[in-house]
Amino acid sequence: MKRNARFATAAVGVAALATVAGCSSGSSTTPSASAVPTLTGNCAQYQAYAGHSGSTVTMFGSILSPESDSLNKSWADFQSCTGITIQYTGSNTFESDLPVKVNGGNAPNLAIIPQPGLLAQMVATGTVKKPPAGTVANEANWNAAWKGYGSVNGTFYAAPMSANMKTMVWYSPKYFAANGYTVPTTWADLMALSAKMASKMTGTAKPWCAGLGSGTATGWPGTDWLEEVVLGTFGGQVYDDWISHKVKFSDPQIQTAMQTVAGWLQNPAWVNGGIGNVQTIATTTFQDAGLPILKDQCGMLQQASFYEAQWPKGTTVSATGDVFAFKLPAVNPSITNPVEGGGEFVTAFADDPATQAVQNYLSSPQWADSRIKVAPGWVSANEKVDQSLYTDPIDQLSAEYLADPTATFRFDASDAMPAAVGSGAEWKAMVDWFGSGKSIKDVAAEIDAAWPAS
């Protein structure tokens, strides 16, 4: 009898352990199906996602605090209403961590992938799950190009989350006003303005400043300059063919684009404002590159919308303030509104109902609105988003172009190319091109040679 009692206690202990393990384990655990509860009051709007209370969905991404705090806040109401817990983990080495996790059988339920190239790699491992019908339906809210970047070999896998605009030029409205310069709207105007500035500037002041430095990712700003010129000169088709390597870097069209970049940002009379000669572009970090604008040492900086975070405290960002941005005009005026941008894609490695509910919610305009309300510095390319919610002038500017259905939107090409090129050879080639004065022909040959043979 005593023996039996002891056995029973042990059994209870084991059961308790199992329960603890069940609650704390990362994978989603859906309680036994019961009638879907009816949500009322403020929670009524989440009715579509109800019925999975008690489940946990793990999410992995490259977004770190404080931005990840804003994410957590944006879905706090969703969590308390539906009872689904979203467990977000961020890593600054996300791109190398994710393949390791997936390969080790430890994939998160959802991953927020910023590169279509990485998404394609993940799909090739055979572990990515197709999105539920709700997410697919929401896809109509995006510019058609976005759906393409969330697809691999024609199959749609991941819905876009946030978006940023790369086709921007930062400048000082105060400096422009003091010198009687106006914001250029065509490429010809931009070049004329640069020449005019160069003739008036003295000492180390130059019309443009730029920097390629970015730690292990050194070189990426250069790929952006080339991408914008390719898109703005030849349009979307050539750009897409360039990503798939149907158009090589040695192709006359890309060579022309590289010549345009060289005439613009390797022109000794035009760069590198407040920093030094052309070569210094290769050693200046992209974060520091634009700061001479504040000291009237540099006229303009081509950098994405997220450069806003680099301005020091106390800088007013507005159309009449210390700094502001305008859209980089198309090199070829016949290309309508070319916009290059980046963004993230919500990729699922699980297909249980709770994960799919979160996936559906994150692809809805409702969630995007909720995220915009939390903090500025975040833009969605979702065309259904309430544009009046944006409070920050740069967010408003980016959203205007990103959610414009007539824009020729394209994703950052280097992020969509195979990693060996997009995060390897092309970065290196850009550094060589600006830093060592390598010829355009050699730079192109170097990148083409690194393209992985399939």
Smallest separation (angstroms) from other proteins to the CB of 418: 7
CA atoms within 13 A on the CB side of 286: 23
- The CB-of-110 to other proteins minimum distance in angstroms stands at 16
Total residues in contact with other proteins, by rule CB under 8 A: 49
Q: How far apart are CA 71 and CA 347, in angstroms?
A: 16
In sequence order, what are the residues at sequence separation of 6 or more whose Cβ sits closer than 8 angstroms to the Cβ of residue 450? 420, 421, 424, 425
Among the residue ranges 117-125, 148-156, 180-188, 315-323, the one whose residues contact other proteins (CB under 8 A): 117-125
Tell me: does residue 215 bind other proteins (CB under 8 A). Answer: yes
| Shortest Å distance, C-beta 176 to other proteins | 24
Residue given tokens 């572009």 in the structure block: 281
Return the structure tokens found at 46: 């989440």
List binders of other proteins among 170-209 (CB under 8 A): 203-204
Angstrom distance (rounded) from CA 207 to CA 373? 37
Residue 95 or 224 with smaller CB distance to other proteins? 95
Identified binder of other proteins from the candidate list 168, 327, 418, 433, rule CB under 8 A:
418
Distances (CA, A) of 155 to 140, 149, 211, 356: 15, 10, 37, 17
Closer to other proteins at the Cβ: 218 or 359? Answer: 218
Run of H or E residues at 113: strand 110-113
Rounded Cα gap, residues 35 and 221, in angstroms: 53
Beta bridge partners of 340: 410
Shortest distance, CB of residue 289 to other proteins, whole angstroms?
Answer: 14
Buried b (16+ CB within 10 A) or exposed e, 320-335: eebbbbbbbbbbeeeb
Query: Which range touches other proteins (CB under 8 A), out of 28-36, 100-108, 170-178, 405-413?
Result: 100-108
Of 115, 135, 194, 218, the one binding other proteins by CB under 8 A: 218
Residue environment code for 175-199, b if the CB has 16+ CB neighbours within 10 A, otherwise e:
bbeeeebebbeebeebbebbeebbe
Residues 328-367 that bind other proteins (CB under 8 A): none
Report which of 235, 257, 261, 230 is spatially closest to residue 407, judged by C-alpha positions.
Answer: 235
How near is the Cβ of 121 to other proteins at its closest, in Å? 5
Residue closer to other proteins (CB basis): 169 or 265: 265
Is 285 one of the binding residues for other proteins (CB under 8 A)? no
26-85 binders of other proteins (CB under 8 A): 72-73, 76-77, 79-80, 85
Considering the complex, state which of residue 355 and residue 423 has its C-beta at the smaller distance from other proteins: 423
Unique residue bearing structure tokens 């920050």: 392
3-state secondary structure 138-191: HHHHCCHHHHHHCEECCEECCEEEEEEECCEEEECHHHHHHHCCCCCCCHHHHH
Q: Is 99 in the site for other proteins (CB under 8 A)?
A: yes
Maximum Cα interatomic distance, the chain, rounded to a whole number of Å: 101
- Quote the least distance from Cβ 25 to other proteins, whole Å: 8
Q: Which is nearer to other proteins, 259 or 277 (CB)?
A: 277
CB 327 to other proteins: min, Å: 31
Which positions touch other proteins (CB under 8 A)?
20-21, 23-24, 72-73, 76-77, 79-80, 85, 87, 95-96, 99-100, 102-103, 121-122, 124-126, 203-204, 215-216, 218-219, 275-277, 279-280, 282-283, 418-420, 423-425, 428, 431-432, 435-436, 452, 454
